[in-house]
Amino acid sequence: MKETRQLKINLDSLGFSASFICAVHCAAMPLLLTVLAASPLRFLISPLFEISIILFSMIIGVSSFLPGYLKYHKKLIPIILLFCGFLIIFAGHFIVPAKLENIVTPLGALTVAFSHILNWKFSKNFNHCNANHD
């Protein structure tokens, strides 16, 4: 059981890190466009790379949130925040005017990062409470 908990914490840490890096990436995009355009790292500004990172983050989110919800805390707020964050990211990429993308998309990524923190906290608190009852 302890191995499952350790994997859970690592998935939330990975999800938080990916979401936070995404927020920084999106906020810095205007600078990245000029600096990376002629660089070997120009793949970092490609739409395919961004969509791949978003899909990867969604997989990590679902992989870490479902076990936390089903086995531990039964709280929907982290899952709701996760999906709201991804909806905000989606809106930033495909709905809002381009001039607002660099504001909206990082807000979505930070929402996803915060949802991972909540999920980890709720799962950790559940495990600490149960450890005290054993």
Number of domains making up the chain: 1
Q: Which structural domain, as residue segments, surrounds residue 43?
A: 2-133
Q: Give the count of beta carbons closer than 10 Å to the beta carbon of residue 12.
A: 26
Two tokens at 43?
């793949």
- pLDDT tens for the chain, 134 residues: list them: 455 555 545 677 777 777 777 777 777 777 766 776 777 877 777 888 888 888 888 888 888 888 888 888 899 999 999 999 999 999 998 999 989 988 999 999 999 999 989 998 888 876 555 555 54
Q: Where are the alpha helices (DSSP H) in the chain?
A: 2-27, 29-36, 47-67, 77-94, 98-133
pTM of the complete model: 0.74
CA dihedral 87, 90, 91, 97 (to 10 degrees): 170
What is the three-class DSSP state of 47? helix
